[in-house]
A = this chain, B = another copy of it.
Amino acid sequence: MTDTFPRELRQALAETSAPLLEGADALPYLDDRSGAAGAAGARALAVVRPGDAAEVATVLKLAHRHRVPVVTRGAGTGLSGGATAVDGCLVLSTERLNRVVEISPEDEVVIVQPGVINADLNAALEGHGLYYAPDPASHAISTIGGNIATNAGGLRSAKYGVTRDSVLALDVVLADGTALHTGHRSVKGVTGLDLTALFVGSEGTLGVIVGATLRLRPLPAATATVSAYYPSVRAALDGVRRISRTGVVPAIAELIDHPSLRNIDENTGSRLTDGGHVLLLVRTDGHAAAAEAEDVVTALRHTGGDAHRVTDEAEAERLWELRRSGRGRTRPLWTVGEDVAVPTSQVARMYEEGERIGRRHGLDFASVAHAADGNLHPVLSRPVPEGVAPTAPAPPELDAAADELVRAALALGGTVTGEHGVGVTKRRWLEDELGAAGLALQRAIKAVFDPLGILNPGKAI
């Protein structure tokens, strides 16, 4: 970086409506929910909030010329440190790129800017009979741009795919300010290498996404919810497999283990633990939602589940909302959360491994799971002892246990991260999963897009 950069940047942005944020004004833009920037003591040079693609290009051209690192961020709801500031970087916030540009019911697509909140997009689609399927649990607070950067999954992934499956085309500004359009507005298209898929999940390392053409789906004619209590995680997972053998593809199948149920109860005042040990929530959708729900109930009862259809729609919505956002902390805890995914046949073993690892390190283990796609969100925790400040460094067992958990997932044929991204917090396992040849290729591809390495350095790959 040269000394003239801040001045040149201020000049370049003088005619835009958003001033550069510096000093204390920049602080709210440094971290995500991982706290990685704070932990590293990273300080940003400034925060820019471009209002259109041209402003993004202006910023990147200048940053490129001065070799200033640029970290793009949406709402900062990430859990892996993918959007946290690195020392001396320019933070590029997409918060002002928040327009739904075009809704086309005819083509069943929508064009959005990256800063649009996922749930706001679906609100904007109301009345069109269409919706955007990818629904990370953070859908009320996370942006489409962030969802694309991490290839966010969600509850509906097993039936409707992850973010990548709904992104048809992207408008990107490359590291040197060049504009690039990838993909197409049609559902199909195989011209050249799939750069759209390459950008999805690239965590801000290849370019800055300034527009996305997303595929929409017709709103299902109906939905139905089934609740089933089981005496064990293993029995509940047998239930999920039994559903699959009926030919029903559930829109959602969420497993909540006992510690997670207890946590939700403590945090929200709900009484989910009154119903039983482990809860499996299943949603069917489409014209046959009700009939499929009956088949699901039968399949779950055959596997020992205390299953019934939740016919009260408000109660069903409450259950889903508890699953999405009911977990929390009622007392000071040291915690580490993970995002492993394993082949569906290995989910039960992953739970067993997690419980074993927790016990060995004197930690509590709890996990919800997207049961139909093998993605678990385990939390290992220990109460902060009385008299100890909650901000005190966590004991090393948490880190050791997290490491064992991730290695267990890899040993079961799984992956380090199902949907949260690598960011900074999961980089240490990168080579274990990708292999040396794979990682070298990934870094060489990164260098094609960003030869100076200014985009989100030290992240993801």
Residues of B within 8 A of A437 (CB): 174, 178-180
Partner-binding segment picked from A1-9, A33-41, A184-192: A184-192
B201 near A194: Cβ-Cβ < 8 Å:
yes
Q: Taking the complex as formed, is A227 at the interface, i.e. its CB lies under 8 A from any CB of chain B?
A: no
Q: Taking the complex as formed, is A458 at the interface, i.e. its CB lies under 8 A from any CB of chain B?
A: no
A350 to B443, CA, bound (A): 42
B107 near A191: Cβ-Cβ < 8 Å:
no
Nearest to A179 among chain B residues (CB) is: B437
A433 to B189, CA, bound (A): 11
Q: Taking the complex as formed, is A220 at the interface, i.e. its CB lies under 8 A from any CB of chain B?
A: yes
Q: Taking the complex as formed, is A24 at the interface, i.e. its CB lies under 8 A from any CB of chain B?
A: no
**Number of A residues, CB within 8 Å of B:** 94
Q: Which of A104, A106, A197 has the most CB of B within 10 A?
A: A197
Contact with B along A342-380 (1 / 0, CB 8 A): 111100000000000000000000000010111100000
Q: Taking the complex as formed, is A79 at the interface, i.e. its CB lies under 8 A from any CB of chain B?
A: no
Partner-binding segment picked from A56-64, A68-76, A413-421: A413-421
Q: Taking the complex as formed, is A200 at the interface, i.e. its CB lies under 8 A from any CB of chain B?
A: yes
A206 to B129, CA, bound (A): 41
Nearest to A416 among chain B residues (CB) is: B191
| CB proximity of A246 to chain B, nearest CB, Å | 8
Residues of B within 8 A of A106 (CB): 241, 343-345
B197 near A194: Cβ-Cβ < 8 Å:
yes
Q: Taking the complex as formed, is A311 at the interface, i.e. its CB lies under 8 A from any CB of chain B?
A: no
For window 214-251 of A, CB contacts with B under 8 Å fall at 217-221, 241, 244-249
Residues of B within 8 A of A442 (CB): 192-193, 195
Residues of A within 8 A of B (CB): 104, 106-109, 129, 150-151, 153, 157-158, 161-162, 164-165, 174, 178-182, 184-195, 197-198, 200-202, 206, 217-221, 241, 244-249, 286-288, 291-292, 295, 341-345, 370, 372-375, 413-422, 426, 430, 433-435, 437-439, 441-442, 444-446, 448-449, 460-461
Which 10 A/B pairs are nearest by Cβ-Cβ distance? A288-B288, A197-B197, A106-B345, A189-B415, A287-B288, A188-B418, A187-B373, A186-B341, A221-B247, A107-B343
Known A107-B343, A107-B344, A184-B341; further 20 A-B contacts with Cβ < 8 A: A106-B343, A153-B190, A157-B187, A162-B188, A180-B435, A180-B441, A181-B435, A182-B438, A184-B413, A186-B415, A188-B415, A190-B418, A191-B417, A191-B434, A192-B433, A192-B434, A218-B244, A221-B247, A288-B291, A448-B448
